[in-house]
């Protein structure tokens, strides 16, 4: 028997164990092995029932994602065909679902007539996160098992459900009392079925999955949800598959599902999302650290500064059950900070996401102090004070005096030199940058800034800690703005300059949101605060080689007190949250253009796209060349998780590969010439981009 499955006889039961670590991904070799084992059990008259399980306990994480986009994906036996064969066996098949059954793993379980889980089991159809839909019967069998509405909710959210929920809604028939007893319970279940001469498959609970729903349910569902889907293809295809489940007999529905799945698999969006899946896993692999790196314990944390950022950072740890000490200079600031955190949790309670008891538990993990001496026993301190080098250095001198040896000292700086901060301590090896993004309790990105002296175990510990608190940590080297904000600079520069040249803020933002970015540059600045942006820029004027032309607009808005949404006017005028174009801004741009001798002209959307995006991409490629980012995929993760770049474009680096690196380079060269002195100053192609194109490479990688 193929070593990817185990085959055991236990009386009149055949036990087939999936044995392809780490997650029993259902690639072609495993599919072939399952088919062979199933045929053997089917052909053996001594076998009365079959138990399918994960031999290491874990059932299956679904199809092998690395096969998609290649011939292996549907190489025989393909997953839909294998599962169809299993549904035609005339012996009861029990799926013993340990730990998880996701995607094709759950579809495999659905092809079995009977399913048993254990308390830790999670089941789900997360294909949507990969720009796919379930393609091995999930869209047809799940609606028939739990009804169309519940199945749609599960497949569109992609979120797994726990064992109890799976039992309640009918995905599981039984629950074993523990993971350890799962296989025994599955055997006992199979024996009961044999003894009771049970059918190979029980009757389908929802033979007509849409029965009882309003006639226009699916049409309305599409209408209500389409705006949220923006240009995403997979939810639309998924809905079509569920329509087929409601309207067609099973076999026809299955065929329709395969066709829709193949369309999704071949799409750029799915390729982009699969890239993101693997990039997220790669991001944890960092030269100089590996599984043998001893981690430091993080049982107690301190945050310096109880402002919006510090409070948000503290909440992450309280949410993960880790006690946090919040330090401020003044009692009233501390009280305000703690009250704000309580207020934030209160909003979650109102929304039903948190109970009052949980709110109190989390608040109980937060302790306020005004005294550095109270930080003597913390394992990690994160400084989140005003973004000024002297202030941060003063804090780090205090931390160096107060904290125990081995404590990790982190700065939440968004742009300052972590090495200069580390230099004022006696322990630069323990210092690291941990750049959270606002709102820090919500945003997933965590830039982990490795200083030149940062010890490998400090890096490894903070990466692990980041994942523990639910963040997506990405390693960056030290440079102004690190990965994200350094790339933001040329991207935002083009947006501003385009407004001087004749575009409106709404036109620029419209092109960017047309790509499905969450927000355009100007809406983002109005939300974050034109004043905040001005102050950061002003503090760093010397560090950024400024060209007056593109800063002037923001500077003048600041001088006019147009700070954005909070003052009702910024790049736009606001009534509540509704934004409108403001003629004053256009007039201001016209005046500034005159003063700066910038010719104004009608600007096309393509030019806006190319100038903003190509400059963003160019800077990313430069960061890779400088070694600030380790991989193109890391850069993508920064922009996906911190800047609202749509994941179905895969991030700016993946998007550049989709557009064609030669086209990006040609575009940059075009504007270098077309925009006169300005083009000469700013549109310099990154040398790595030139080298990659010259060598005919289509992927962005160090070269």
For ligand 3H9, the binding residues (CB under 6 A) are 22-23, 25, 61-66, 79, 102-104, 107, 126-127, 130, 132, 134-136, 138, 261, 281
Length of the chain: 703
Work out the angle between the directed axes of helices 331-350 and 308-319 (0-180°, nearest 10).
Answer: 50
| Inter-residue contact 519 to 505 (CB < 8 Å) | no
Backbone angles phi, psi at 571, to 5 degrees: -70, -25
* Residue 680 CB neighbour total at 10 angstroms: 11
Closest CA to 643 of 523, 496, 540: 523
Would you say 103 or 428 has its CB closer to ligand 3H9? Answer: 103
Would you say 17 or 92 has its CB closer to ligand 3H9? Answer: 17
Cβ at position 22, least distance to ligand 3H9 in Å: 5
Cβ at position 25, least distance to ligand 3H9 in Å: 4
Identify the residue whose tokens are 């005004």: 370
Is 71 in the active site? no
d(CA 225, CA 313): 33
Q: Around 194, how many Cα atoms within 13 Å sit in the side-chain half-sphere?
A: 19
Closest CA to 404 of 371, 376, 373: 376
Is 257 in the active site? no
Share of the chain residues as helix, strand and coil, in percent rounded to the nearest 5 = 55, 10, 35
Would you say 261 or 645 has its CB closer to ligand 3H9? Answer: 261
d(CA 569, CA 562): 5
Q: Which residues of 544-557 are buried (b: 16+ CB within 10 A; e: fewer)?
A: beeeebbbbbbbbb
d(CA 541, CA 518): 28
Cβ at position 245, least distance to ligand 3H9 in Å: 14
Cβ at position 130, least distance to ligand 3H9 in Å: 6
In 469-582, the DSSP E strands lie at 472-476, 573-575, 578-580
Q: Around 37, how many Cα atoms within 13 Å sit in the side-chain half-sphere?
A: 28
Cis peptide bond N-terminal to 387, omega within 30: no
Would you say 582 or 636 has its CB closer to ligand 3H9? Answer: 636
Cβ at position 61, least distance to ligand 3H9 in Å: 4
The residue whose Cβ lies closest to ligand 3H9 is: 103
| Inter-residue contact 123 to 102 (CB < 8 Å) | yes
| Inter-residue contact 12 to 194 (CB < 8 Å) | yes
Spot the catalytic one: 67, 127, 243, 501. 127
Instruction: Report the C-alpha dihedral over residues 515, 520, 524, 527, rounded to 10 degrees.
Output: -100
Residues 6+ apart with CB under 8 A from 318: 324, 341, 362, 363, 365, 366
Would you say 279 or 459 has its CB closer to ligand 3H9? Answer: 279
Q: In this structure, what token pair is assigned to residue 688?
A: 């790595």
CA 223 to chain centroid:
26
Backbone angles phi, psi at 204, to 5 degrees: -70, 125
What does the angle CA 658 – CA 664 – CA 666 come to, to the nearest 5 degrees? 140
d(CA 306, CA 339): 10
Cβ at position 103, least distance to ligand 3H9 in Å: 2
- Strand-strand pairing, 5-10 and 13-18: antiparallel
| Inter-residue contact 489 to 543 (CB < 8 Å) | no
d(CA 186, CA 131): 34
| Inter-residue contact 608 to 507 (CB < 8 Å) | yes
Cβ at position 16, least distance to ligand 3H9 in Å: 19
Cβ at position 151, least distance to ligand 3H9 in Å: 13
Would you say 134 or 428 has its CB closer to ligand 3H9? Answer: 134
Cβ at position 442, least distance to ligand 3H9 in Å: 21
Cβ at position 274, least distance to ligand 3H9 in Å: 9
Spot the catalytic one: 8, 39, 67, 107. 107
Would you say 135 or 337 has its CB closer to ligand 3H9? Answer: 135
3-state secondary structure of 515: coil
Would you say 5 or 65 has its CB closer to ligand 3H9? Answer: 65
Would you say 64 or 243 has its CB closer to ligand 3H9? Answer: 64
Kindly list the catalytic residues.
Answer: 107, 127
């Amino acid at each position: 028997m193929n070593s990817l499955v185990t085959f055991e006889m236990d009386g009149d039961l055949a036990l087939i164990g999936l044995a392809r670590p780490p997650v029993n991904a259902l690639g072609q070799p495993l599919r072939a092995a399952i088919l062979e084992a199933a045929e053997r059990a089917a052909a053996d008259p001594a076998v009365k029932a079959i138990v399918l399980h994960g031999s290491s306990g874990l059932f299956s994480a679904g199809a092998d994602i690395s096969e998609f986009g290649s011939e292996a994906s549907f190489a025989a036996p393909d997953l839909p065909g294998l599962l169809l064969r299993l549904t035609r066996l005339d012996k009861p098949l029990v799926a013993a679902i340990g730990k998880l059954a996701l995607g094709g793993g759950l579809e495999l379980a659905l092809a079995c007539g009977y399913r048993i889980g254990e308390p830790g089991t999670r089941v789900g159809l997360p294909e949507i996160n990969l720009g796919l839909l379930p393609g091995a019967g999930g869209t047809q069998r799940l609606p028939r098992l739990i009804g169309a509405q519940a199945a749609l909710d599960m497949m569109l959210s992609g979120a797994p459900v726990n064992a109890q929920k799976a039992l309640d809604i009918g995905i599981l028939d039984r629950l074993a009392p523990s993971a350890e007893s799962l296989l025994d319970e599955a055997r006992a279940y199979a024996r009961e079925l044999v003894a009771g001469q049970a059918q190979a498959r029980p009757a389908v609970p929802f033979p007509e999955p849409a029965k009882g729903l309003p006639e226009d349910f699916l049409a309305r569902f599409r209408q209500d949800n389409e705006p949220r889907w923006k240009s995403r293809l997979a939810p639309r295809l998924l809905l079509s598959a569920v329509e087929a489940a409601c309207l067609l007999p099973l076999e026809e529905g299955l065929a329709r599902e395969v066709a829709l799945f193949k369309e999704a698999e071949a799409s750029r969006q799915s390729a982009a999302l699969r890239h993101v899946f693997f990039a997220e896993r790669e991001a944890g692999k960092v030269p100089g650290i590996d599984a043998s790196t001893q981690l430091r314990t993080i049982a107690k944390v301190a945050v310096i500064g109880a402002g919006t950022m510090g409070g948000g950072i503290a909440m992450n740890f309280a949410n993960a059950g880790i006690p946090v000490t919040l330090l401020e200079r003044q009692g009233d600031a501390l009280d305000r900070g703690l009250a704000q955190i309580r207020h934030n949790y209160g909003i979650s309670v109102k929304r039903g996401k948190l109970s009052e008891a949980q709110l109190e538990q989390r608040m109980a993990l937060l302790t306020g102090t005004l005294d550095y001496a109270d930080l003597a026993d913390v394992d990690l301190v994160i400084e989140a004070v005003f973004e000024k080098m002297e202030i941060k250095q003063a804090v780090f001198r205090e931390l160096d005096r107060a904290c125990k040896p081995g404590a990790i000292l982190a700065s939440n700086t968004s742009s300052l030199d972590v090495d200069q901060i580390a230099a004022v301590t006696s322990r630069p090896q323990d210092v690291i940058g941990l750049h959270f993004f606002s709102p820090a309790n919500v945003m997933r990105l965590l830039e982990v800034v490795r200083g030149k002296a940062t010890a490998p175990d400090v890096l490894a510990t903070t990466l692990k800690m980041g994942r523990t608190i639910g963040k997506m940590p990405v390693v960056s080297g030290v440079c102004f703005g690190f990965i994200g904000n350094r790339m933001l600079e040329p991207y935002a520069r083009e947006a501003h300059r385009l407004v001087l040249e004749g575009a409106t803020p709404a036109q620029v933002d419209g092109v960017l949101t047309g790509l499905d970015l969450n927000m355009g540059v100007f809406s983002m600045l109005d939300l974050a605060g034109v004043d905040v942006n001005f102050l950061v820029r002003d503090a760093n004027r010397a560090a950024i080689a400024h060209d007056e032309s593109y800063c002037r607009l923001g500077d003048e808005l600041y001088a006019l007190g147009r700070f954005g949404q909070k003052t009702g006017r910024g790049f736009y005028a606001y009534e509540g949250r509704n934004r409108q174009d403001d003629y004053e801004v256009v007039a201001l741009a016209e005046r500034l253009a005159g003063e700066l001798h910038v010719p104004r002209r009608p600007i096309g959307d393509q030019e806006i796209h190319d100038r903003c995006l190509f400059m963003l991409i160019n800077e990313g490629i430069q960061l890779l060349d400088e070694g600030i980012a380790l991989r193109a995929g890391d850069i993508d993760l920064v922009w996906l998780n911190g800047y609202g770049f749509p994941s179905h474009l895969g991030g700016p680096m993946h998007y550049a590969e989709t557009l064609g690196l030669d086209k990006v380079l040609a575009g940059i060269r075009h504007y270098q010439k077309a925009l006169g002195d300005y083009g000469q100053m700013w549109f310099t192609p990154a040398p790595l981009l030139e080298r990659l194109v010259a060598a005919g490479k289509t992927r962005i990688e160090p070269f």
